[in-house]
Amino acid sequence: MATTTTVSLPLPTSSRRGLRGGRILRGVSQDRILGYLFLFPALLVIVGLVAYPFASAIVMTFQAKTAGAPGRFIGLDNYRELFGSEQFLRAVINTVAYTGIGVGLKFVFGLSMALVLNQERFCNNLFRSILLIPWAIPTVMSALNWRWIFDDASGLINNVLVRLNLIDETISWLSDPHLAMLSVIIVVVWQGTPFFTMSFLAGLQAIPKELYEAAEIDGASMLQQFSYITLPRLQPIFITAVMLSAILTSAGIQFVLILTNGGPSDRTMIFPVLAYHLALGGAQRLGMGAAVSLVFFPLLVIFIVFLTRRMLREKGE
């Protein structure tokens, strides 16, 4: 069905008409220069700011190093010590589970809420702002607050459950080995869902309503509309959001550090916390701490390359 093309945005007019129509063909080499130019500031920031500390951190993994002193090169000894440690292997499993479940839940909740908030509704703006609140609170404070909520005696949950006579003994959310990881994940999800919600919502809002209306006239069901219109449009955003969230979640220490400090008995010990303990506690072995932090490095690189392959294909989208 041909419809007239009406673009409601002002287009640049004849001032540019002087340049010949052959622009598109020659655009490719223009692309190159422009591409580098546009990307340059971002790369400058990264190279200028982060490259040196990044390189230092990597070098540290091969050293026996304490603060304020040059490191002594010891090759792969740090890694050898790590792979022989049971605590480390525990941390591997924990980190994968923690990240996988955390990001998965955030994704599902985030997408559902984005779809819901995209509907017409009274006070939608208010709801959107409310759902944003967990993201607006510093992680440290959220963690402390939730620690309090989970507390045995004065905590909100136990308080309510006891008053409602639903339980006899208080639930030890943070000291029960079976509940500890769950409790930490609850907090991670509470804090991180707004990221997904808002990211997806922004994506949804950019999809013109006309597309849905046209599809509906053509007889598409809601599910079909979702699969053929919404999902493809959102796919790049899905990928970037999941990628960023996975990396940042797996590297976040605040929640575990404040809620359980890795316990009980290392049930919630994840990589970044182990690294923190090694680098700042006891002998303050920065080399070991760095080694732990970077163990996932190769895996994450593969993860990133694979996930973003589609998006970065040479021929554009």
Kindly identify the residues of this chain, within the stretch 144-183, that bind another protein according to CB under 8 A. 144-146, 148-149, 151-154, 156, 159-160, 163, 169-170, 172, 174-177, 180
CB atoms within 10 A of CB 219: 7
Residues 79-98 binding another protein (CB under 8 A) are none
Q: What is the distance between the alpha carbons of residues 261 and 25, in angstroms, rounded to a whole number?
A: 60
Pick 36 or 83: Cβ nearer another protein: 36
Q: What is the distance between the alpha carbons of residues 11 and 218, in angstroms, rounded to a whole number?
A: 31
Which residues have CB under 8 Å from 241's CB, separation 6+? 107, 110, 195, 196, 199, 200
Which residue shows structure tokens 């994968």? 96
Pick 58 or 101: Cβ nearer another protein: 58
Q: What is the distance between the alpha carbons of residues 268 and 188, in angstroms, rounded to a whole number?
A: 13
Question: Segment near another protein (CB under 8 A), from 72-80, 93-101, 306-314?
Answer: 306-314
> Rounded to 5 degrees, what angle do the CA atoms 53, 55, 61 make?
105
Instruction: Single out the residue of 91, 103, 111, 113 in contact with another protein (rule: CB under 8 A).
Output: 113
241 binds another protein per the rule CB under 8 A: yes
Query: 263's torsion region: left (phi>0), alpha (psi -120 to 50) or beta?
Result: beta
Question: Segment near another protein (CB under 8 A), from 21-29, 72-80, 91-99, 100-108?
Answer: 21-29
Q: How far is the CB of 2 from another protein (least distance, A)?
A: 6
Q: How far is the CB of 20 from another protein (least distance, A)?
A: 9
Q: How far is the CB of 146 from another protein (least distance, A)?
A: 6
Q: How far is the CB of 107 from another protein (least distance, A)?
A: 14
Site string for another protein, 28-47 (x = CB under 8 A): xxxxxxxxxxxxxxxxxxx-
Site string for another protein, 185-224 (x = CB under 8 A): -----x----x--xx-xxx-xxxxxxx--x-x--xxxx--
Instruction: Single out the residue of 91, 185, 188, 294 in contact with another protein (rule: CB under 8 A).
Output: 294
71 binds another protein per the rule CB under 8 A: no
* Total residues interacting with another protein, rule: CB under 8 A: 172
Q: What is the distance between the alpha carbons of residues 110 and 98, in angstroms, rounded to a whole number?
A: 18
Q: How far is the CB of 16 from another protein (least distance, A)?
A: 4
Residue 72: helix, strand or coil by DSSP? strand
Burial (CB count <10 Å: 0-12, 13-18, 19+), residue 309: exposed
Instruction: Single out the residue of 77, 105, 128, 229 in contact with another protein (rule: CB under 8 A).
Output: 128
Is the Cβ–Cβ distance between 267 and 226 less than 8 Å?
Answer: no
Q: What is the distance between the alpha carbons of residues 188 and 193, in angstroms, rounded to a whole number?
A: 8
Question: H or E stretch including 63?
Answer: strand 63-64
Instruction: Single out the residue of 74, 105, 161, 236 in contact with another protein (rule: CB under 8 A).
Output: 236
